[in-house]
Structure 1
Amino acid sequence: MRTPARTGAALLTATLLTGLATGPALADATASPSAAPVAPPAALYGKGDPTYDGVWRQSLALTALTTAGVAPADAAVDWLTGQQCADGGWPSFRADTATACTAAAEDSNATAVAVQALVALGGHQDTVDKGVAWLKANQNADGSWAYNPGNPGDADSTGLAVSALRAAKTDPTAVARSGRTGLQALAALQAGCDTAADQRGGLAYQATAGTAPTANPLATAQAALALAGGELPVPAGSPDGAAPKACDASATPAENAAGYLDRTLSANGEHLMLAMPGATPAPDFAATSWAALSLVRAGHPVQAKAAVDWLAANAGSWAKGAKGTDAAATATLVLAARATGADPHAFGGTDLVKQLTEAGPAPKTPAAAPAAAGPGKKSGGSSSMWTIGVGLLIGLGGGLLISLNRKRAK
């Protein structure tokens, strides 16, 4: 994904990319932004440098293709399982799998989407169980998860981890640290209904001591899926879902988050905007895609479809990428299209499934028949990598964020 508009008290380096939208919440803080680009392995989807998003984009691609009826090549799946560390976690990318992982560089976002991809594929229970064990072992004392272990938790990473637990048939309400669960950590990051109208129900990227949460679009879009009881892939919803209600202190965190997403999408012409300090205002394709997934899971498919219609008209260049197909972006769009009943084979004039398939090793089976048309558009409303924060500094009051694009697509 993130994704990935990750916010909070974060420091961005001068090399932080803008306008992207599918990577994880934060970039691996151990990698050097000045290092020479890494050539992607043949089994990896996408031709860009995989240093910051290799596992992320492979996991989203495998999930999306499986959802679209494509059986990925064994080599693609083996590459993902081979990236797992001995303790069960995944880093963003391992160039040399013969070298032991550095625990501090393991990545909760990569681990969460890898677990969900392997559950979707089936037949990898031992690997999934190890990933779940890693998530349990690296939960923070407040119930949250950080991008890299040992840092303050954030909404994106926590939401992805909760969704991974649920996908693996592990009850997230039973996974706690110091009596705090991930869902409780997310609720603590949510702006109340007594705040400014454009903040109500949104989630902050990270907590800031002494101040009320400030809603971040991408953080909310990814975390809302977990609050709504969802995981990847999100199945299509019914076309007659009611619109989210106004923010209500007695409502569930999931419903209030859905309301924030719906209002914010509508206010911006059915898309979300990048929310990073210093970033030029621009549409956030990843956040918009994740918002659609979360709205469907929360029971609001009509509102989600309005955002997906906007993506179909505007996100083609994001998915195509400047240097060839952006696998994470394309996969995220496939997942959003499928969730809303749109046809990923004819999405804004592009066959996303074909585009994604051709970005990696030849699959074992071709794509299934196109999906049926989905729910109608909401009335009255509606880059390439996430700003995968290259060389983000994790510290000084907060983890680095990548407004990436997450994800994360995450």
Structure 2
Amino acid sequence: MNVRRTAAVLAATAVIGTAAPAVAADPSPSASVAIPDGLYGTADPTYDGVWRQSLALMAQHEANVDPADKAVAWLAGQQCASGAFPAFRADPAKPCDAKVMVDTNMTAVAVQALATLTDRYDSQVQKAVTWLKSVQNKDGGWGYSAGAATDANSTSLVIGALTEAGVTVPGLRKDGKSPFDALWQLSLPCDGKDGGAFAYQPDKKGKLVANADATAAAVLGGNGVTPAADPQEDADTSAGCRPKQDDGLGEVAAHNGAAWLARTLEKDGYLKSALPGAEDQPDYGNTADAVVALASAGYHDQATASLHWLEANAVKWAGQSGPAAYAQLIFAAYAAKGGDAHDFGGKDLVTLLNATGPAPAAVTAEPAKASPGGSEASDDNDGALSVAWTVGGGLLLGSLIGFGLMLRGRKRRQ
């Protein structure tokens, strides 16, 4: 997500005293930063090592790929003694000091990955959860770093991480405020322009301005899920923007955000870059995130339409951007109806992602993908049962056509 990368670069430049770029691009390879064994990608990992590693591992898991042990160990090894994660530290054996910038985003995405993949690192996951709880803001949300003002992206990421780690998020309150209260405060009122959308944060005048990146994140956060969540049943897309209610506040906010995303994507099928200084051009990563968000809220028609646009346009972008981009497209392919990560615009995204890191420990053949709801009727007789009866001394051969439940295989916490 572009807002997150911008925040990382701005945080880093604030410390080292250099000017922040107007547009945060993928870091180019640097001779001063050696690429560690086990890390995905070849670009400088200073600002996104933990981020791209976590997304790559979750996307492989989604595709029934068992990552190499050293890839998971590299991610776990980035954790500081406090429980928090930085974007990257070259020497994990060296204790974290004040110069190591930890943040909620890297910590949350690492928790999502480690909690999803294995129980071997449960103690580290719980340590990270404890740290995340300790830096919750008084409004119930989280900022990019400890003590920073709450934003929709960080709050949503942490909600997904805590849920994956088994925390009951609605009951996690600070000064009586839950994370969903914080999200609601960042949603635009239904009766105004862009009603239902989310702002990243209020602007300098306290005004909420719709942000597609923040909205896609908040839809997942409101539903308490991660990018690898199962798609939901078809939603009532005619319901429109719903007012605040005491019960199910997160789900209402997520529905409203999804409705706004669907309206925004209806014209072109893709979202445009919203970064300061960026040209008016397609935002492939944000569009992929929006597809996942829409599917998680049951807005499947628009999710599928935007997925088709990604299939036709986004593979080259992913190849230029690296493992995190491949992961975003894989999440979208699994979330939307009709998506196929192994035949995405004619390319096998899973194979391309696997090639950016250490060889996987195992690759398991996937069952046919089911539509939301869990079952589809088979179009052939491969699973048919032949039953023979003897009737009046003669043999009557009949066939019973079997309808199998084709459930997408998920290997949770092996």
Q: In which range does the TM-score fall when normalised by the shorter chain?
A: 0.7 to 0.9
CA distance in 1, matches of 2:238, 2:97: 44
Alignment partner for residue 44 of structure 1, among 39, 61, 76? 39
Does structure 1 residue 106 correspond to structure 2 residue 97? Answer: no
* 8 Å contact kept, 2:273–2:282: yes
The 5 Å alignment of 1:2-401 reads: 2-4=2-4, 13-17=19-23, 38-102=33-97, 105-123=101-119, 124-196=121-193, 199-208=194-203, 210-238=205-233, 240-243=234-237, 245-249=239-243, 252-267=252-267, 269-321=268-320, 326-341=322-337, 342-369=339-366, 371-372=368-369
CA distance in 2, matches of 1:361, 1:5: 24
CA distance in 2, matches of 1:37, 1:190: 42
* 8 Å contact kept, 2:85–2:107: yes
* 8 Å contact kept, 1:3–1:218: yes
- For residue 80 of structure 1, what is the amino acid of its counterpart? L
Do the aligned partners of residues 241 and 19 (structure 1) sit closer, same or farther apart at CA in structure 2, a change above 3 Å counting?
farther
Do the aligned partners of residues 241 and 6 (structure 1) sit closer, same or farther apart at CA in structure 2, a change above 3 Å counting?
farther
- For residue 194 of structure 1, what is the amino acid of its counterpart? D
* 8 Å contact kept, 1:245–1:255: no
Shift of 1:180: 1.7
Output one character per residue of 1:300-327: Cα deviation in whole Å (capped at 9) or x when no partner.
Answer: 2232122211111111121101xxx600
Which consecutive residues of structure 2, in runs of 5 or more, have no partner in the other structure? 14-18, 246-251, 373-414
Shift of 1:250: 5.0
Identity of aligned residues (%): 43
Shift of 1:44: 0.6
CA distance in 2, matches of 1:93, 1:18: 17
Do the aligned partners of residues 126 and 2 (structure 1) sit closer, same or farther apart at CA in structure 2, a change above 3 Å counting?
farther
* 8 Å contact kept, 2:6–2:23: no
* 8 Å contact kept, 2:3–2:275: no
CA distance in 2, matches of 1:218, 1:94: 27
Shift of 1:224: 1.3
Provide the aligned C-alpha RMSD in A.
Answer: 2.6
Provide the secondary structure at the position in 2 that maps to 1:176: coil
Bigger mean CA deviation after superposition, 335-344 or 85-94: 335-344
Output one character per residue of 1:137-157: Cα deviation in whole Å (capped at 9) or x when no partner.
Answer: 111222221112122221111
* 8 Å contact kept, 2:112–2:161: yes
Output one character per residue of 1:58-85: Cα deviation in whole Å (capped at 9) or x when no partner.
Answer: 0000000011000000000000000011
CA distance in 2, matches of 1:349, 1:250: 44
Shift of 1:336: 1.2
Shift of 1:233: 1.2
CA distance in 2, matches of 1:289, 1:190: 21
Shift of 1:56: 0.4
Bigger fraction of residues in strand = 2
Name the structure 2 match of 1:383. Answer: none
* 8 Å contact kept, 2:140–2:173: yes
Which consecutive residues of structure 1, in runs of 5 or more, have no partner in the other structure? 24-32, 376-410
* 8 Å contact kept, 2:23–2:276: no
Q: Which is greater in Rg?
A: 2
Name the structure 2 match of 1:388. Answer: none
- The number of residue pairs the alignment matches comes to 355
Output one character per residue of 1:278-301: Cα deviation in whole Å (capped at 9) or x when no partner.
Answer: 221111112111111111111222
| TM-score of the pair, normalised by structure 1 | 0.80
- For residue 187 of structure 1, what is the amino acid of its counterpart? W
Bigger mean CA deviation after superposition, 215-224 or 201-210: 201-210
- For residue 358 of structure 1, what is the amino acid of its counterpart? A
| TM-score of the pair, normalised by structure 2 | 0.79
Output one character per residue of 1:343-387: Cα deviation in whole Å (capped at 9) or x when no partner.
Answer: 101111110000000110011112533753768xxxxxxxxxxxx
Provide the secondary structure at the position in 2 that maps to 1:295: helix
Name the structure 1 match of 2:389. Answer: none
Output one character per residue of 1:114-168: Cα deviation in whole Å (capped at 9) or x when no partner.
Answer: 1111121121221211111111011122222111212222111111011111111
